[in-house]
Structure 1
């Protein structure tokens, strides 16, 4: 693969760094530019072009290819300008496909929720089956970082990545499909189409569906030919997996579904039942995904990755019999909290503390349908945890499962989750 003209990196995160290293290794003298929407770009051996100057740079053909980072929406008008000028727009993932796809088995896993856990489980199960496999995408390495290190590559992919993925996997998996990331995609319908682009395409590849995806009419249409679907697990196999999950660190019915899907994928590429059971036993919860702590006798659950009401429902269902204080709310993406508010009381929530902006709607809906739940609005996370410290006789478990993104108050969900744990440690185990 050769590049005849300079390249522009749009975005300056992990993928952009790995793209720069890839280009440097291929063509050390290649001119590389970088653009970010805010701040400065710390990418070695690049020249920065301000976002406001991009239209002029495109018109002048200062570069012949744009490599877009996942967090940059492909629907930005500037990319239409580039395509109209004959400048291609691609991604780290698609560069990997062009350079390394040949002679590799590719498993691509996506879904609104559960894709990281499922991909991690598949990697554990496959490697413990004796298969040399690597994990990349949103977990593990960036695609170009993993390069050609393994004959089997497991990609965990966001809708940002599936939207313009231009090569076929050998096996595509979808955990579930709910409305999410509407700001990036521009509409719910476009989000669904971009997510389903992983399976809604011509070509020969297998498809595996999570339990929540199987009854979805949009998913069924995207599968096209149902002969693509992997065979269901045998009842005795499912029973063994359920038993293994019950003795593992996988909490909740949704994680049992993730394990069953991962097992189906693993068997589909030649893994073993022993490898599956060993992989389940080896699983450790990913950071900010039902991450448990015990502070002064109080169970604290960091589920900051929860950015949809469906994810919050799953988090609450994972703690039956508990008296729960729920901290929820965040960035506005027009989430519908009606069904969640109706479930809170039956899921053991005694206390609800909401955060701006979406928390206001959840607070109002909960007050209407569940008057026994104590509801408070807090201006920020610090105030929320301080308030809970004065109410702790009402609950034995605190769960941060916002059901919304973090961008209005935090850089990302990781920062939000880390701050939550630190605040809970301060208020509930000050001497720890």
Structure 2
């Protein structure tokens, strides 16, 4: 692979850094530009182009390729300008496909929720079975960082990455499918289409579906031929997996579903049942996904990764039997909280603290559906934690499971989760 013209990196995060390192190793003298919509373009040995200057730079053909970071929507007008100018747009993932795909087994896992846990479990199950496997994508390392180091590569892919994925996997999986990321994709229908592009393609590669994906008509249509679906687990395999999950750190029915799906995938890739069981035992909860702490006799559950109502329901279901305080609300993505509000009482929620901006809708719906739940609307996370401390006798556990992204108040869900635990320790500890 050789680049005949300069390259533009659109975005300056982890993937862009690994793309720059890849280009440097391949062609040390290659000219590389970088554009960011916000923040600083802190990529070594690049020349910055301001977003306002980008259309003219494209039309004057200052570079011959754009490598887009996942967080940059492929539906931005500037990419129409690039298409009209004959400048292709690619990604870190697709560059990996061109450079390293040949001769490797690729397992690609996506879905609205559960994909990180499932991909991590598949990687553990394969590794514990003695298979040379690596983990990349949104967990593990960026695709180009993993390069050609492993015979099997497990990719955890967001809809941003599946939307224009150019190569075929050997095994693909969809955990579930709910509305999400409307701001990036432009519509819910486009989000579904971009997510399902992972499997809705020519090619006979097998497909595995999570429990919540199996009854979804859109997923069924994307599968095309149901003979592509991986076989179900045998009763013996299911029993072994269920027993292993029971003694593991995987909490909640949704994580049992993730483990079963991961086992299906791993078996298809050559894993042994004993390796699968050991992989489940080795699983450590991923940061900000039902991450549990305790301060002052109260349990605090950091589920900041939760950006949909469905994820919030799964988090609450994992703590049945507890009296719960839920902190929810965040960045607007047209989430529907109607059903969630009717389920809160059944999950044991006694106290609900709603944050801007989507929390306003959840507060209104909950007051109508469950008047006995105490509902607060607070301006920020610190105010939420202070009001909960004043009512700490009303619950056993506090769950931050916002059901919305963090961008209106935090840089990302990691920053939100870290702030939650710091406040819990400072106020309750």
The TM-score, its normalising length taken from structure 1, stands at: 0.99
- Aligned partners of 2:300 and 2:58: how far apart in 1? 50
The equivalent residue for 1:373 is 373
Q: Deviations over 1:86-105 (max 9, x none)?
A: 00000000000000000000
CA-CA distance at 1:17 after TM superposition: 0.4
Secondary structure at 1:131's aligned position in 2? coil
The equivalent residue for 1:289 is 289
CA-CA distance at 1:204 after TM superposition: 2.2
CA-CA distance at 1:235 after TM superposition: 1.5
The equivalent residue for 1:238 is 238
The equivalent residue for 1:117 is 117
The equivalent residue for 1:405 is 405
- Aligned partners of 2:25 and 2:237: how far apart in 1? 46
Q: Deviations over 1:120-161 (max 9, x none)?
A: 000000000000000000000000000000000000000000
Q: Deviations over 1:17-39 (max 9, x none)?
A: 00000000000100000000023
The equivalent residue for 1:358 is 358
The equivalent residue for 2:100 is 100
Residue 212 of structure 1 pairs with residue 212 of structure 2: yes
The equivalent residue for 1:247 is 247
Q: Which runs of 5+ in 2 are unaligned?
A: none
Alignment of 1:218-233 (within 5 A): 218-233=218-233
Residue 5 of structure 1 pairs with residue 5 of structure 2: yes
- Aligned partners of 1:125 and 1:299: how far apart in 2? 30
- Aligned partners of 1:401 and 1:204: how far apart in 2? 38
Secondary structure at 2:386's aligned position in 1? helix
CA-CA distance at 1:319 after TM superposition: 0.5
The equivalent residue for 2:422 is 422
Alignment of 1:149-188 (within 5 A): 149-188=149-188
The equivalent residue for 1:53 is 53
Residue 73 of structure 1 pairs with residue 97 of structure 2: no
- Aligned partners of 1:26 and 1:243: how far apart in 2? 48
The equivalent residue for 1:25 is 25
- Aligned partners of 1:221 and 1:411: how far apart in 2? 36
The equivalent residue for 1:44 is 44
Secondary structure at 1:218's aligned position in 2? helix
Q: Which runs of 5+ in 1 are unaligned?
A: none
Secondary structure at 2:161's aligned position in 1? helix
Q: Deviations over 1:289-309 (max 9, x none)?
A: 000001111000000000000
Deviates more, 1:317-326 or 1:235-244: 235-244
CA-CA distance at 1:40 after TM superposition: 2.1
The equivalent residue for 1:270 is 270
The equivalent residue for 1:392 is 392
- Aligned partners of 1:141 and 1:11: how far apart in 2? 17
Q: Deviations over 1:194-223 (max 9, x none)?
A: 000000000121100000000000000000
RMSD between superposed Cα atoms in Å: 0.5
CA-CA distance at 1:349 after TM superposition: 0.2
CA-CA distance at 1:239 after TM superposition: 1.4
The TM-score, its normalising length taken from structure 2, stands at: 1.00
CA-CA distance at 1:112 after TM superposition: 0.2
Secondary structure at 2:399's aligned position in 1? strand
The equivalent residue for 1:259 is 259
The equivalent residue for 1:334 is 334
Secondary structure at 1:43's aligned position in 2? coil
Runs of 4+ aligned residues of structure 1 deviating over 3 Å after TM superposition are: none
- Aligned partners of 1:193 and 1:102: how far apart in 2? 27
Alignment of 1:300-315 (within 5 A): 300-315=300-315
Secondary structure at 2:9's aligned position in 1? strand
CA-CA distance at 1:420 after TM superposition: 0.3
- Aligned partners of 1:286 and 1:177: how far apart in 2? 21
